[in-house]
Amino acid sequence: MITIFINDAMKQVEQGASLTKVLEQYSLENDIQLAAIAVAINNCVAPRATWHTTQCQANDKLELFSVVAGG
């Protein structure tokens, strides 16, 4: 297990877990729709197309943002 932070909250996840796996579990625990969020890892936006190949590392800081349409 490794420690990561999601929106400043500490979370234990399996070493080598993909971002997709971590976000799916987090969304179930927190009633969040993955289709409606954007994610930054260590202050860098993580494109949705890379979530399944991105592995979480110890002490990663994930920030989840609600996607809002507008102009």
pLDDT of residue 71 exceeding 70:
no
What would the two tokens of residue 28 be?
A: 């179930």
> pLDDT value at position 28?
94
Do 18 and 55 contact (CB within 8 A), yes or no?
yes
Query: Does 69 have pLDDT greater than 80?
Result: no
- The answer to whether residue 42 scores a pLDDT higher than 90 is yes
The single-letter code of the amino acid at 29 is E
Write down the domain spans for the chain. Answer: 2-66
For residues 15-39, give the mean pLDDT.
Answer: 94
Percent of the chain past pLDDT 70, that is, above it, reads: 96
CATH numeric code, 2-66: 3.10.20.30
